[in-house]
Amino acid sequence: MAVPSEQFAEITEITHDQSRAGIETDATPKSSSFKENTPTINGDEENGLSTIERIKTHFGDRPECFKNTFQEISFVFQATVATATTSFLTGVALIITVPVSHDLNMTQGEIAWISASVSLVAGAFQLALGQLADLLGRKLMYITGMGSFSAFVLLVAFSQNPFWMLIVCGILGACSAMVVPPAIGILGAAYATPSKRKNMAFSAFSAGNPLGFVFGTIICGIATQLSSWRAAFVTLCIIWAVFTAHAIWAVPNVENFDRAPLRQRLSTLKQFDYVGTILTIFGTGMFTAGLTLGPEDGWGRAHVIALLVVGIVLLIIFVLWERIFPTPLMPPHIWKDRNFSLIIAVVLFGTMSFTSSGFWTAFFLQQIKQYSTLMVAVHLLPMAIAGLLWNIVAGRILHRVNNTAIMVFGAVCYLGASLLFSFMRPESNYWAFMFPALILNVAGADLQFNVANMYVMQSLPKHQQSLAGGIFNVVIRLSNAAVMGISTAVFSSVELTAEGMADPMLKFTRTFQVSVALAAASVLFSPFIRLGTQGNHPKGENQEKTQSSKSTEVGTSAGESELEEKKQDV
């Protein structure tokens, strides 16, 4: 039977259209049906996604700035080291309190200043260095900070008096402030798309603070036991020198600017907030110095009152200045976000509780239990193991469990740990009191840091990621310095009373009760946070892929049916 020319032309047009759409027909050559034979998992057959495609879709692609997975892992490790820098030094300061106080004849207030000076200077310079990293170059500032930290920490080992030691510790605080903002900036810019991969990277990064504290006590406790407290800082110098060399390769060039000569990049300093920098440095410095000097010199002394008042006034002026300057260190609009403000408040009180209880626990083991530095490190070892495990858990649940519930759980963990510490006596069983308290303390820190880091990084645009990290870390550093002043004031005031002299444990109990109050404040604010899950793969992209796949299948079926009908008519 002859085929009418009109029908033949219509059949040919349909066949050509289907061929261009990738639809197999009898008129097109049969290719290997890869999609049909590719194994799929969890019922993805209907979407036509292979195992590899599914992993990429749900876990996330490797950021383009990394040449391979090994470099990606290496950088995440570097970012973890960056955030661990200050807390690592704090752990060292705790483990050497007794030997260094005997060697340099330091008072309790001067001992507290070892870690307080680091946190104080780091907090004061954090915002300014965060903005500089975004303007001048993140990788350059990161490597400079790591190298400077390695060099200056060696000078601490040669300290001959408390004044020299505290000055160098302050410089180390500035060095640590140089590495955290660029590390966060690169991390936030590289992992811009929410995914499980981003969750795992940020969970590792968030582990830096608690793990740095613990490993600082362990590594330098061993060095102090084998040699002296000076060997602890020499060990720290060697470790950070290795990290610096590794960073040259591991840290990618993820910058906020296009490549240009240094002179052209320096022109961007016109946008730098010089006035805000001066106000934050002197404001936070004076206020925290007043808190720290109060216990030793007396709260009624003129210089203590002057430091507190002038510090507060400068900080108020800083807030007003940030409202009018076009490129502020701390954009005021972020505080209008209710969740952002509440998260910062919850993390602030929780971190203060963690830092205070950690410091006085180590001092309790040395002064009351009379443990050696090595034994102190051994008793604090569960914190390191728990820290690793809790961060693995955090990376797996951020995209599944309501983050408000995680913040509340973290605050309750802080409270439980502080209560156990406060009920502890010299004869108390380690496994009944201190061990569970250490586990809970790390749980609170790890879980809250993960949620907070993820949310804070999403609060500012990509070109201000280093500044976002600076804002979060300045709160952490300044809260650490402030709580050391508060808890030291309580410790010193109780120590001089008749009850304190009669019961050596009483001054430790009172400092642990300070941690209880701070943890309770964290619990109080946490239920008001309104968060869902974080780190989910963008739904729109998945839905688009699924709808595209389904529409293709529908188009295929309709096209084949229409072609079959035409053939039958012919």
Cut 0.75: pTM above it: no
Determine the average pLDDT of the residues in 269-283.
81
Among 141-145, 178-182, 314-318, the least confident range: 178-182
Question: What is the token pair recorded at 360?
Answer: 């006085």
Between residues 469 and 339, the one the model is more confident about: 339
Q: Specify the CATH architecture of the domain 64-256+266-272+327-528.
A: Up-down Bundle (1.20)
Q: How confident is the model at residue 59 (pLDDT cuts 50, 70, 90)?
A: low
How do residues 430-444 score in pLDDT, each as one tens digit?
999 999 999 999 999
pLDDT over 80 at 179, yes or no:
yes
Q: Which of 470, 539, 466, 534 is nearest to 189 (CA)?
A: 466
Number of other CB atoms surrounding residue 233 within 10 Å? 27
CB 141 within 8 A of CB 132: yes
pLDDT over 90 at 349, yes or no:
yes
Determine the average pLDDT of the residues in 216-237.
87
CB 330 within 8 A of CB 456: no
Between residues 402 and 132, the one the model is more confident about: 402
pLDDT at residue 404, as a whole number = 92
Q: How confident is the model at residue 265 (pLDDT cuts 50, 70, 90)?
A: low
48: left (phi over 0), alpha (psi -120 to 50) or beta: left
Burial of 360 (0-12, 13-18, 19+ CB in 10 A): buried
Between residues 534 and 511, the one the model is more confident about: 511
Cα–Cα dist 433/412, whole Å: 16
**H-only helix segments in 460-538:** 465-495, 498-502, 506-525
Number of other CB atoms surrounding residue 203 within 10 Å? 27
Residue 248: C-alpha distances to residues 241, 244, 245, 258, 469 (Å): 11, 7, 6, 20, 21
- What percentage of the chain reaches a pLDDT higher than 90? 24
pLDDT over 80 at 170, yes or no:
yes
Enumerate the domain spans of the chain: 64-256+266-272+327-528, 273-326
Q: How confident is the model at residue 94 (pLDDT cuts 50, 70, 90)?
A: confident
Q: Which of 434, 420, 418, 415 is nearest to 371 (CA)?
A: 434
Q: Which of 348, 350, 333, 330 is nearest to 470 (CA)?
A: 330
62: left (phi over 0), alpha (psi -120 to 50) or beta: beta
pLDDT over 70 at 50, yes or no:
no
Q: How many residues does the chain have?
A: 570
What is the residue type of 332? P
pLDDT over 60 at 67, yes or no:
yes
Concatenated DSSP letters of 109-165:
HHHHHHHHHHHHHHHHHHHHHHHHHHHH-HHHHHHHHHHHHHHHHHHHTT--SHHHH
CB 373 within 8 A of CB 221: yes
pLDDT over 80 at 81, yes or no:
yes
What is the residue type of 178? M
Question: What is the token pair recorded at 32?
Answer: 């290997």
Cα–Cα dist 117/167, whole Å: 8
pLDDT over 50 at 362, yes or no:
yes
Cα–Cα dist 76/42, whole Å: 30
Q: How confident is the model at residue 25 (pLDDT cuts 50, 70, 90)?
A: very low
Q: Which 8-state DSSP code applies to residue 59?
A: H
Q: Which 8-state DSSP code applies to residue 227?
A: S
Biggest alpha carbon–alpha carbon distance for the chain:
118
Cα–Cα dist 257/135, whole Å: 7
Burial of 435 (0-12, 13-18, 19+ CB in 10 A): middle
How do residues 99-151 score in pLDDT, each as one tens digit?
888 888 887 667 777 877 887 788 778 777 877 877 778 888 899 999 999 99
Q: What angle is formed at CA 372 by the lines to CA 369 and CA 373, rounded to 5 degrees?
A: 115
pLDDT over 50 at 347, yes or no:
yes
pLDDT at residue 269, as a whole number = 67
CB 125 within 8 A of CB 281: yes
Handedness of CA 127, 128, 131, 134 (dihedral sign): negative
Cα–Cα dist 569/562, whole Å: 11
Residue 205: CA count within 13 A, CB half-sphere: 31
Number of other CB atoms surrounding residue 405 within 10 Å? 15
Q: Which of 444, 428, 438 is nearest to 378 (CA)?
A: 438
Between residues 338 and 192, the one the model is more confident about: 338
Q: Which of 210, 142, 208, 212 is nearest to 175 (CA)?
A: 142
Determine the average pLDDT of the residues in 217-221.
82
CB 152 within 8 A of CB 24: no
Contacts 24+ apart (CB under 8 A), 564-567: 566/7, 566/10, 566/11, 566/14, 567/11
SS3 content of the chain, % helix, strand, coil (to 5): 80, 0, 20
Cα–Cα dist 209/220, whole Å: 16
- What percentage of the chain reaches a pLDDT higher than 70? 78
pLDDT over 70 at 31, yes or no:
no
Residue 71: C-alpha distances to residues 65, 114, 179 (Å): 10, 35, 18
